[in-house]
Amino acid sequence: MQTAVTIHAVRVQVAAWRKHGERVVFVPTMGNLHAGHVSLLEAAKQHGERFVASIFVNPMQFGPNEDFNHYPRTPQRDTGMLAAAGCDLMFTPDVAEMYPNGADLAARVEVPGISEILCGKFRPGHFQGVATVVAKLFNIVTPDVAIFGEKDFQQLVVIRRMTADLCLPVRIVGAPTVRESDGLAMSSRNQYLTAEERRIAPIIYRELTRARDALLAGARDFARLDALGARALEAAGFTVDYFCVRDRLTLDAPRPGAHELVILAAARLGRARLIDNIQL
Ligand code: PAF
């Protein structure tokens, strides 16, 4: 596996592959890799011949009181995992390489509407930071295909819309959420959980599953399902940001007869803010 820390080095390598007609598949990450990230690289193999992963903890997508400084950084371990997963090129820029004038003064990409609901309501500016860094990474790597985890479902919808609206020549592919054996969705932020919180955390998935089963059995009172899920999480000790059934494509409140649905939850447990979803 090659490594690059500059935009120039990535462009030189990708141009060489393109000359040979090789398709480039890109997996953007913030590092601290786990089996969920490895599954993205596995998914990448169905879509091309060359695989690029980036590791960049993007300051623009963290709010002033969020965990940018404490976000787990494990570069050595990540390098080994990417090499073992068959990655061809690992791009690890520093903040100055990505934001030479500083993140605060950098041009931004805004995807209105979808960025302000759900997680956007609780993390103002977050999706602007995500859309901006992903657009920049796409311009640097120029991938044919980019893979994103479905665990960050709203992020995936924002990126799909940004890519379509800006006519970026990249195909966006979502890959299924990887879970621990008790159902907890894998996330770097699970490390923030104490032993007691870790025991409680899978209740998010349990409640999503319960709502999914109710919908599959014909329940259509979405507001009731939202309230039941939120109440169960609060009773287990979570502080709930939202628990709701939404249209799978738009993330709007679903029309009464809708079948393309996703149930999304975000809830805080101690230091950790956990998000998860189930699609129907
Ligand atoms: O999902 C993530 O890890 C990040 O939001 C991403 C897509 C790498 C952008 O920083």
Give residue-wise pLDDT tens across range 121-148.
Answer: 999 999 999 999 999 999 999 999 999 9
CA of 57 to the centre of ligand 1 (A): 8
What is the number of helices (H) and of strands (E) in the chain?
10, 9
Listed residue (175, 155, 156) closest to 46, CA to CA: 175
Same domain membership, residue 163 and residue 218 = no
Does the pTM of the predicted model rise above 0.85? Answer: yes
Q: Is the pLDDT of residue 157 over 90?
A: yes
- Report the nearest-CA residue for atom 9 of ligand 1: 130
Same domain membership, residue 199 and residue 247 = yes
CA distances from 274 to 94, 149, 216 (A): 27, 15, 25
Q: For residue 258, what pLDDT band results from cuts at 50, 70 and 90? A: confident
pLDDT the model gives residue 134:
99
CATH code for the domain in which residue 98 is found: 3.40.50.620
Note whether residue 183 is domain-resident.
no
Residue 8 annotated in active site: no
CA distances from 205 to 71, 181, 215, 265, 274 (A): 24, 12, 15, 9, 11
Same domain membership, residue 148 and residue 109 = yes
Catalytic residue among 37, 70, 126, 259: 37
- Report the nearest-CA residue for atom 2 of ligand 1: 29
Q: Is the pLDDT of residue 89 over 90?
A: yes
Q: Tell me which of 175, 202, 236 is where a domain ends.
A: 175
Q: How many domains does the chain have?
A: 2
pLDDT the model gives residue 2:
98
Give residue-wise pLDDT tens across range 95-123.
Answer: 999 999 999 999 999 999 999 999 999 99
Alpha helix (H) ranges present in 20-68? 35-44
CA of 133 to the centre of ligand 1 (A): 8
Mean pLDDT of the chain: 97
CA of 256 to the centre of ligand 1 (A): 33
Q: Tell me which of 175, 200, 223 is where a domain ends.
A: 175
Same domain membership, residue 104 and residue 42 = yes
Same domain membership, residue 256 and residue 118 = no
Q: For residue 257, what pLDDT band results from cuts at 50, 70 and 90? A: confident
Q: Is the pLDDT of residue 32 over 90?
A: yes
CB crowding 128-147: b at 16 or more within 10 Å, else e: bbbbbbbbbbbebbbbbbbb
Of 34, 152, 277, which is best to mutate to test ligand 1, by the most ligand atoms within 8 angstroms of its C-beta?
A: 152
Give residue-wise pLDDT tens across range 205-235.
Answer: 999 999 999 999 999 999 999 999 999 999 9
Alpha helix (H) ranges present in 94-202? 95-98, 119-122, 126-141, 153-165, 195-200
**DSSP state letter for 32:** -
CA of 166 to the centre of ligand 1 (A): 19
Helix or strand or coil: residue 153? Answer: helix
Q: Tell me which of 132, 150, 175 is where a domain ends.
A: 175
List residues near ligand 1 (CB under 6 A).
28-30, 58, 61, 130, 133-134, 152, 155
pLDDT the model gives residue 279:
98
